[in-house]
Amino acid sequence: MSLTGKQVLQLVSDDFEDLELWYPVLRLREEGAVVHIAGEEKNKTYTGKYGVPITSDHSFHEVDADEYDAILVPGGWSPDKLRRYDSILTLIKEMDQSKKPIGQICHAGWVLISAKILDGVNVTSTPGIKDDMENAGAKWFDEPVVVDGHIISSRRPPDLPDYMREFIGVLQKK
């Protein structure tokens, strides 16, 4: 249980990529971390692209970055919704300023782009948003996972084992 005592925030909205949300949550809990789910509304059930539900523990409007050791942004179509909330962008910026691990997979890069934290950062994502990532100033690589300090990025569900191995490794050092 290498992450006992760590608290991680997983963001959610409807149309998240089911595996990109659930796999990290389960892996982190296996390692002893406490993982809270934050959506627009507290105690609301959100549904993934393939129909797998998850219920939020908190509203992302009420969470405090100081209470968490890391944050995860799932992929799917969820990031296009999440990036529209100032409270999410503020949360991501605060986590970035504190150099706390920020995990992003697939389309999750959209949230980091909107938070304006990718200038000069090495990343990966789904190839579909490569241009968006580069236009935000990031250096994009077609790799299963890219770690640049506290920002851990990955492309898609088949890369989840590599993504979580690296995310857990970065979180253990914090």
Catalytic pick among 36, 58, 61, 107: 107
User: Pairing state of beta strands 70-73 and 7-11?
Assistant: parallel
End-to-end CA distance of the chain: 15
Q: Does residue 126 sit in helix, strand or coil?
A: coil
Q: Which residue has the tokens 């999750």?
A: 108
Helices 18-30 and 160-172 pack at an angle, to 10 degrees, of: 40
**How far apart are the C-alpha atoms of 153 and 102, rounded to whole Å?**
8
107 as an active site residue: the answer is yes
Q: Under a CB-based contact definition with an 8 Å cutoff, are residues 83 and 114 in contact?
A: yes
Which are the catalytic amino acids? 107
